[in-house]
Amino acid sequence: MTGHAIVIGGGIGGLAAAVALRRIGWQVEVLERVHAFGEVGAGLSQSPNAMRALAELGLAEQAEAASMPTWATHAMRLPSGRHLMHAPTGQNPPLRAFRRAALHRLLRQALPQDVVHTGVEVTGLAQDSEKVTVTHTAGRQDADLVVGADGIHSLTRRLLWPQAPGPRFLGYTAWVGLAGTSLPVRGSMTLGRGCYFLIHPVAPGQVYWALGSAADQSGVRFDDELEQVRRRVAGWHDPIPALLQATPPEQVRHLDIHDLPDLPAYASGRIALLGDAAHAMSPDRGQGAGQSIEDAVVLAAALADNTPVPAALAAYDAQRRPRTQATARNARQAGLQVINAGSTAHALIALALRLTPSTLWARLAPRTLGPLWDWTPPTLPTMPDALPHG
């Protein structure tokens, strides 16, 4: 069956859900509480699984054009600049890096303009066996399906599972920024003690960077966030100082890292959770947004063959919960390994990486990353009048 869906939240997950549902012939509205999107965030990388999901949404070319190929954990260094691992030569980098706003924009452009309603905040939900009633700041509407893509602090989740624990602080904090520079920069990751510095070129003349660092508590903010980053990586290798020099202070964002304890379900009746609302995860495998795009494709595939909505959402839950919760665990462990490493552990990690030849690493990495990256999306039927716009 097709019907009318309301998606709560116009982040990457919500927009991907809207594109996916339109592809199978649903009428969709996205309700987003912010009044204008502007230049959201700095950058992010997408791994092959996420790129395949974007391709299934009909956005392969747009995604390729909006991103740059990049290395990360295959090209590791110490703060001194010493290489722990070189990116393998003669191979294509496995990741694509985007300005976050560019990925968001390409999803928005895949939707007709009247699909996304900004400045509308959802305040309540009620459902019976026939419909869901959504209450929001512009009124009230009925829908056959509601997708809660309203982020880590999701109202949808709190209404459906009021007893479920909320986001948990993982003991570290991150600064992200965008440098405008013509320096030829390749993706890399530098491992400090209790911190790391990540670099991704995201567009010609633009480089995304992120500093992750151990923190005792969340919510600590500074008058000059860029200066905090400079202080923490003082003396680190090139091009880190040049990137910070080329970063406008207003481009720097400081975020505390949280994830979400496992939920018992991602769906109830005609309401589904998607993206960070369901499985916010630490950024350490670069998977949060990618998993939300996967969610969108799987959700649409479950609904595509005329399955009644509650049964389709149960199938969506059964497919997505094990994968996303395992991914979140994997990401948490990877992050904490670096962030919590004392000096001995840091030295041992560095030694092990330095002694592992890149060719061996290229064979070992798929064991960790393979289950994340090898995912293949289900095939969506294409409705002739629901192809992406723009």
Ligand X SMILES: Cc1cc2nc3c(=O)[nH]c(=O)nc-3n(C[C@H](O)[C@H](O)[C@H](O)COP(=O)(O)OP(=O)(O)OC[C@H]3O[C@@H](n4cnc5c(N)ncnc54)[C@H](O)[C@@H]3O)c2cc1C
Please pick, from the candidates 121, 142, 225, 262, the single residue that binds ligand X as defined by CB under 6 A: 121
Among 292, 324, 325, 327, binds ligand X (CB under 6 A): 292
Stretch that binds ligand X, among 41-49, 78-86, 259-267, 378-386 (CB under 6 A): 41-49
Site for ligand X in 304-343 (CB under 6 A): none
3-state secondary structure the chain: CCCEEEEECCCHHHHHHHHHHHHCCCEEEEEECCCCCCCCCCEEEECHHHHHHHHHCCCHHHHHHCEEEECCCCCEECCCCCEEECCCCCCCCCEEEEEHHHHHHHHHHCCCHHHEEECCCEEEEEECCCCEEEEECCEEEEECEEEECCCCCCHHHHHHCCCCCCCEEEEEEEEEEEEECCCCCCCEEEEECCEEEEEEEEECCEEEEEEEEECCCCCCCCCCHHHHHHHHCCCCCCCHHHHHHCCCHHHCEEEEEEECCCCCCCEECCEEECCHHHHCCCHHHCCHHHHHHHHHHHHHHHHHCCCCHHHHHHHHHHHHHHHHHHHHHHHHHHHHHHHCCCHHHHHHHHHHHHHCCHHHHHHHHHHHHHHHHCCCCCCCCCCHHHCCCC
Per-residue mark of binding to ligand X, 348-387 (x: CB under 6 A)? ----------------------------------------
Please, what is the minimum distance in Å from the beta carbon of residue 255 to ligand X?
A: 5
Pair of tokens at residue 364: 């070992």
The span from the CA of 157 to the CA of 166, in Å, is 9
Among 255, 326, 336, 383, binds ligand X (CB under 6 A): 255
Q: Which stretch binds ligand X (CB under 6 A): 75-83, 182-190, 270-278, 308-316?
A: 270-278
User: Residues 44, 87, 143, 147: which binds ligand X (CB under 6 A)?
Assistant: 44
Choose, by CB under 6 A, the member of 176, 226, 313, 386 that binds ligand X: 176
* Residue with smaller CB distance to ligand X, 125 or 350: 125
Interaction of residue 290 with ligand X, rule CB under 6 A: yes
To ligand X, the closest distance from the beta carbon of 279 in angstroms equals 9
Is residue 275 at the binding interface for ligand X, with CB under 6 A as the rule?
A: yes
Per CB under 6 A, which of residues 154..173 are in contact with ligand X? 155
Residues in binding contact with ligand X, number by CB under 6 A: 34
Among 115, 210, 302, 369, contact with ligand X (rule: CB under 6 A): 210
- In the list 79, 167, 177, 283, the residue contacting ligand X (rule: CB under 6 A) is 283
Least distance from ligand X to the Cβ atom of residue 6, Å: 10
Stretch of residues binding ligand X (CB under 6 A), selected from 148-156, 298-306, 346-354, 375-383:
148-156
Taking CB under 6 A as the criterion, the residue among 7, 21, 32, 294 binding ligand X is 32
Footprint on this chain of ligand X (rule: CB under 6 A) = 8-14, 31-34, 44-46, 121-122, 149-151, 155, 174, 176, 210, 255, 275-277, 283, 286-290, 292
